[in-house]
Amino acid sequence: MERWSGRIVMVTGACSSLGETLCKELALAGLTVVGLARRRHQVRDLALELESQNCPGKLIPLKGDVTKEEDIMTCFDWVNKNFGGVDVLINNAGVTVKAPLSEAASEDWRRIFDVNVIALSSCTREALKSMKNRGVDDGHIIHINSIAGHRLSILQGNEMYSASKHAVTILAEGLRRELASRKSQIKVTSISPGFVQTEIFEAGGWDDLTKIAPHLQAKDIADAVKYVLSTPANVQVTELIIQPVGGF
């Protein structure tokens, strides 16, 4: 992780439980983290807590809605001007809604793809621009994907989410091939967890799944992110599937 000292990591969806854990663990590892979230105050509170603990890294809260193109542009411009630019992007923002294919509203489907696919792609594009403009060719793009991006979700009504995560799987590999064709050293990683104890499914309309199935903790995913960031320059973890023992 030492090679990332002084470099800038951006985490989207930073006010979610997984986003907060990613920000916290990376800052504790000594990195400078920009936490992008709609609810900036939550990230600010975490930043103040870390500062009071003499955290070796730093967390910078930044307000923005990744479904709004103008917010994305403004946030990346701000980071470029104030910190030089983004060296690592962690696309963590994600959403799901219980949306049966036979009766769901189109607005629900559209929101799933707006956050999980379009926003992810827009942030990735801007991060790559930031790297290119500074001659950075050792950056890292990390997509927080899902096991549902490799097979149909076991949850009824979660098919559109699964479709969006399958898209993320294709986008990650497509970007990796695109960068490889340009002889770029920028890495692309898709991290696909099984059930994680976060609020995403409960907020989407399902009961608390942690009561009926084994699950991972948010820190497990943060540890996976630190692992892929710590690999040697010649090693690229393209896909990492993580499941709880005895779980789905």
Question: Which residues are catalytic, by number?
Answer: 161
- CA dist 23 and 59 (Å) reads 7
Mapped onto helix, strand or coil, the DSSP state of residue 9 is strand
- CA dist 37 and 233 (Å) reads 30
Q: What are the CA-CA distances from residue 28 to residues 8, 59, 186, 232 (Å)?
A: 14, 9, 24, 21
Count CA atoms closer than 13 A to 21's CA, side-chain side. 18
Phi, psi of 141 (to 5 degrees): -110, 125
Instruction: Residue 165: name the closest of 129, 200, 217 by CA.
Output: 200
- CA dist 74 and 39 (Å) reads 16
CA angle 233, 146, 136 (to 5 degrees): 30
